[in-house]
Chains A and B, each alone.
Chain A
Amino acid sequence: MSAETMLDPRAMNSPADRHAAATTDTLRANELSLGYGARQRHVTVIDSLTLGLPDGKVTAIVGPNGCGKSTLLAGLARLQLPESGAVLLEGKDIHAYKRREVAQRIALLPQETHSPEGVTVHELVRFGRQPYQGALSQWSEEDQRLVAEAMAAADIESLADRELASMSGGQRQRAWIAMALAQQTPLLLLDEPTSALDLGHQIEVFELIQRLAHEEGKTIVMVVHDLASACRYADHIVAMHAGHVIAEGAPAEVVTPELVRKLYGVECRLIPDPDTGTPLLIGVRRTSERLSGSAT
């Protein structure tokens, strides 16, 4: 399978690769290996992975369950120490930074967020300012302004004094995004930001993410389960399989029926979306059925 990837010219020399060579990526993985467990039970999830995340764009990491998407995101966010290789932030090893310095550059929205009793939206968004505060410098007018701006950007101002526990999933997710925005970071890492949301709220969150990249120049990296949404809303797709990147580039160029088969073991056809030109998956079915059909 890897030989096939090597021979695929699109996977090797995509426009995004050229882009990466021309500009510097603020966040890069350099021969990064990540794993967990000790000795015999040890599992390497990410194996010697090199990746640049293009500045000012929405990058979607896609792949089947267990391919290492979330582990890669954790590594990129300095949550996990690499076994070998490094994550480079502004060209420097991310573990050479202090936690607080990383928190001033990268905001992270994990997949599982717990909303404690009694916490209101405004309180949550205030936590986003914590990387800039100290024990005796807890709140400034600047903090106040940036929290207000973050809430406006995530369109959650009208719910400022509502408790998180009493809100819908979509509203809560917007509140968490507002917290990440209040961190005022050039990079925003999101782990399945729409996994628990219905279609309407999914679109709302994806459009917000797109706006943040295209209008405010943020670099966004998100793990996305749904390939169709990734094609529709990402500028750059990183397709992962078993801890390796098997394709990366613009959705229209890297997403092919072959890639979909490699990633998920399903057959499909692709047509360009008449509105946006991004690829649309149609006629998705299991590979085995097709194979047995072609054998007869």
Chain B
Amino acid sequence: MSRPSPLDPLRSAPTGTLWWRHGKLSLLLLRAPLLAAGILLLALLMASVASLMLGSAGLGPWDAFKAAFGHGEFATVFVVQELRLPRLLAGIATGAAFSLAGCLMQTLAGNRLATPGIIGIDNGATAFAVASVVGMGISLAPPVMALSGAVIATALAFGLSGGIGTRGYRFLVAGIGVGALFGAGTQLMLARVSIDAANSAYPWTVGSLNARDADSLTWLGLALLIGVPIALWLGRGLNTLRFTDRVATGLGQPVSRVRLITLWLSVVLTAAAVAVAGPVGMVALVGPEIARYLSRHKGVPLLASALAGALVMVLADLAGRTLLSPQEIPVGIVMAVVGSPYLLWILLRSPR
């Protein structure tokens, strides 16, 4: 029996992949998205430390790190543990959820502009969350209200466009209309309630990590804990969705089921994130784009998208907290300022 040489083409992993085998189990992973996720994780760690260090009271990296685990002076520990750390965690969780939801929706519609924010899901969730805050209609907790709004907005966009269709254009246009409707609804509610009630709903209308609600954050954590593994498990099916439906079906993929689960996942993640931070939908556009660029457009970079979203959100919040200190710019506004030129660039650059 001849022994295969280590350079035997049948035993070495295909170009650009990592091949792991153990008995009957085997994984074949594209190297580029993994590398991108690694780089983004490192950058996120650095941004996180910076976010714990910087603020009205500046700290050294080591002090900030120790204080996060409850060591050091009382005042330092209080600032880091009670103020900066929860805010950092909220930024990471919302950024990851928005961006992962964006990547899922873009893959589903086959269109990089089709993010939940543009399709009106953010606005639907916001309108309902604001309704609960200003005490209009049934007062459920913000996450539940946000989810109801997100589901209704999606159902409307879907129903009006008659499905996603080829390259998602009808869906996009219907979604933009639905989003505008919900946006107007939010403004109308704010105009009709007392100034105090309107004030308390303000963070939800611009997007801010300042007025987080602990319950909402718990729900978001739960959504991510369940959503990320489901998304990774869907990954192989999502990869075939990048081709046409007929190709995916011909390969034995249950295309409609994969699409339905992907859509639900995207809606739930977006709603949970809106309940915490308001409509910072721009993250869903910028995060996946960074992930795709870093992973050289290989596969559907789900993990890298989530990490890129978290990184962008943490950096945007850090900038909002420190640039005009002691005044604070809500993270939604920072994202809009950074994200809008970027959106224009996508629209204006020549197609390949």
Chain B residues with Cβ below 8 Å from A98 are 252
Chain B residues with Cβ below 8 Å from A92 are none
Chain B residues with Cβ below 8 Å from A50 are none
Task: Report the Cα distance A79→B28, complex, angstroms.
Answer: 29
Size range of the chain A interface in the assembly: 35 or more
Most chain B CB inside 10 Å of its own CB: which residue of A74, A99, A136: A99
Given contacts A113-B243, A113-B244, A118-B298, contact A128 B251 (CB under 8 A): yes
| 8 residue pairs bridging A and B, Cβ less than 8 Å apart | A98-B252, A99-B254, A108-B249, A110-B247, A116-B243, A139-B21, A140-B26, A161-B16
Given contacts A112-B244, A116-B243, A126-B14, contact A139 B19 (CB under 8 A): yes
Stretch at the interface among A25-33, A141-149, A271-279: A141-149
Per-residue interface assignment for chain A, residues 230 to 258, with 1 indicating a CB less than 8 Å from any chain B CB and 0 otherwise:
00000000000000000000000000000
Minimum CB–CB distance for B35 against chain A, Å: 14
Task: Report the Cα distance A161→B242, complex, angstroms.
Answer: 19
Chain A residues with Cβ below 8 Å from B244 are 110, 112-114
Task: Report the Cα distance A98→B250, complex, angstroms.
Answer: 12
Per-residue interface assignment for chain B, residues 9 to 28, with 1 indicating a CB less than 8 Å from any chain A CB and 0 otherwise:
11100111001010011111
The answer to whether the Cβ of A104 comes within 8 Å of any Cβ in the partner chain is yes
The answer to whether the Cβ of A168 comes within 8 Å of any Cβ in the partner chain is no
> Contact between A99 and B15 (Cβ–Cβ < 8 Å)?
no
The answer to whether the Cβ of A135 comes within 8 Å of any Cβ in the partner chain is yes
Chain A residues within 8 Å of B, Cβ to Cβ: 74, 77-79, 98-104, 106-110, 112-120, 122-123, 126-128, 130-131, 133, 135-141, 144-145, 147-148, 160-161, 165, 183
Which residue of A is nearest B11, CB measured? A141
Which residue of A is nearest B254, CB measured? A99
The answer to whether the Cβ of B240 comes within 8 Å of any Cβ in the partner chain is yes
Task: Report the Cα distance A1→B250, complex, angstroms.
Answer: 36
Given B10, B21, B27, B252, which contacts A145 in the complex, CB threshold below 8 Å?
Answer: B10
Known: A79-B246, A144-B9. 15 other contacts (CB 8 A): A77-B250, A100-B252, A113-B244, A113-B247, A116-B242, A120-B15, A122-B15, A130-B251, A130-B252, A136-B25, A137-B25, A139-B21, A139-B26, A140-B26, A144-B11
